[in-house]
Amino acid sequence: MSQEQEHVEPEEKTAQKFAKESRNIGNIMNTFLLILVFMMLCICTVLLVLVVDLNKEVGSINTKLMALQTSGNQPEVYEKTEDVVDINGSSVDQTEAADIAKVDALENKLVWDENADQSSGIRRVYLTFDDGPSANTDRILDILDEYGVKATFFVVGKENYAQQYRRIVENGHTLAMHSYSHVYGDIYSSLDAYRQDLEKLRSFLYEVTGVECSIVRFPGGSSNTISRVDMHALIDYLDSENMVYFDWNVSSGDASGLHRSANQIAANVLDNIEKYNNAVVLMHDASGKNTTVDALPMIIETLLKSEDTVLLPISEDTVKVQHIH
């Protein structure tokens, strides 16, 4: 054997050995990858099982909650949700609840006088808001300011809203009186009770704003059927104190506890304003009257487009709209 042949054989052996080792390394790597893939599949399977179990647990909890709501505790929940509350969110007794229902029915009557004044000329519209201030008052004031419109606020006594009372006055709106407590059973229990309640509100507003208020709206209107006192006696009292009261002849229909959409409220107002040359519109400024606030831009924009219509705040010179005289 030549030296050249002897030299080639070790090289071939070395190459074969290297190839074998490479195959072994490749097999090891493939095995490792298979093990890794298997482990990942196992982990995914475990996670999937955990997710399924978690969903079952959540479903079980929801079922238990629903069961609790339909269990023996249900009457208590229903009793709470059916409570009638006043404008401050406080529960009231059955007598006051009945009074509130009667007032809601009256205030939701969209047109007061079917034989309305439809003579030609300038139509004067007075937007009025009862029961404030509330969490919605600033929103209402912002909208009125945006359109340059003045309105009238028949307020009640709320000591935590001093800024809103002052803003009503500073922005050029009419600050008028509704009642201090707005509790029908109290303020309408006697002439003296009504007088004390109104004087309390009048003094409170003067202390907060410096304004001596003289314009009044009876809670439930002068035609309400809940007063234990002859309303003529209350009217005589106002006359003796040089105060004047205003009712309304157009209602937005937002007094009821039933939900009214912004479109419904706007339609109630706009469809019935046309019946009057002096339209006093009843709306409510209360925390739950969000759709009333939402309807306000639609109402104002439509009225401002009418060349024969002006929007004004109520003053002592305003033509009186009163249910009884």
The pLDDT score that the predictor gives to residue 108 is: 53
- Domain CATH for 272: 3.20.20.370
CB atoms within 10 A of CB 221: 24
Residue 319 is assigned to a structural domain of this protein: no
State whether 163 and 263 are in the same domain. yes
Residue 194 is assigned to a structural domain of this protein: yes
Residue 122: pLDDT above 70? Answer: yes
State whether 21 and 108 are in the same domain. no
State whether 103 and 76 are in the same domain. no
State whether 169 and 288 are in the same domain. yes
Place of tokens 């969490």: 135
Confidence of residue 21 (pLDDT cuts 50, 70, 90): low
CA distance 64 to 12: 77
pTM, 2 dp: 0.68
State whether 65 and 198 are in the same domain. no
Residue 325 is assigned to a structural domain of this protein: no
Contact 139, 287 (CB under 8 A): no
According to DSSP, the residues that pair with 278 across neighbouring strands are 124
State whether 135 and 233 are in the same domain. yes
* End-of-domain residue from the set 26, 52, 82: 82
* End-of-domain residue from the set 82, 116, 137: 82
List % helix, strand, coil for the chain (3-state, nearest 5).
55, 10, 35
The pLDDT score that the predictor gives to residue 46 is: 73
Tell me: the pLDDT tens digits for 82-105? 344 455 555 445 554 555 555 555
Percent of the chain with pLDDT over 70: 69
Residue 320 is assigned to a structural domain of this protein: no
- For residue 129, the enclosing domain spans 99-311
Residue 77: pLDDT above 50? Answer: no
According to DSSP, the residues that pair with 129 across neighbouring strands are 153, 283
CA distance 109 to 271: 13
Q: At what angle do helices 262-273 and 290-304 cross, to 10 degrees?
A: 40
State whether 296 and 193 are in the same domain. yes
The pLDDT score that the predictor gives to residue 30 is: 76
Tell me: the pLDDT tens digits for 195-207? 999 999 999 999 9
Residue 259 is assigned to a structural domain of this protein: yes
Tell me: the pLDDT tens digits for 165-177? 999 999 999 999 9
Tell me: the pLDDT tens digits for 286-311? 988 999 999 999 999 999 999 899 99
Contacts within 8 Å (CB) and 24+ apart, 8-15 = none
State whether 56 and 107 are in the same domain. no
- At residue 64, what are phi and psi to the nearest 5 degrees? -65, -40
State whether 61 and 174 are in the same domain. no
* Average pLDDT value for the chain: 80
Residue 52 is assigned to a structural domain of this protein: yes
The pLDDT score that the predictor gives to residue 42 is: 78
- Alpha carbon of 8 to those of 2, 11, 15, 19: distances in Å? 10, 5, 11, 17
State whether 183 and 223 are in the same domain. yes
State whether 279 and 131 are in the same domain. yes
Residue 235: pLDDT above 90? Answer: yes
Q: State the amino acid at position 29 in one-letter form.
A: M
Region 271-290 average pLDDT:
94
Residue 316 is assigned to a structural domain of this protein: no
* End-of-domain residue from the set 51, 82, 113: 82
Residue 124: pLDDT above 80? Answer: yes
- Copy the structure tokens of residue 33: 């990858």
The pLDDT score that the predictor gives to residue 266 is: 97
CB atoms within 10 A of CB 154: 28
State whether 113 and 144 are in the same domain. yes
Work out how many domains the chain is built from and give that number.
2
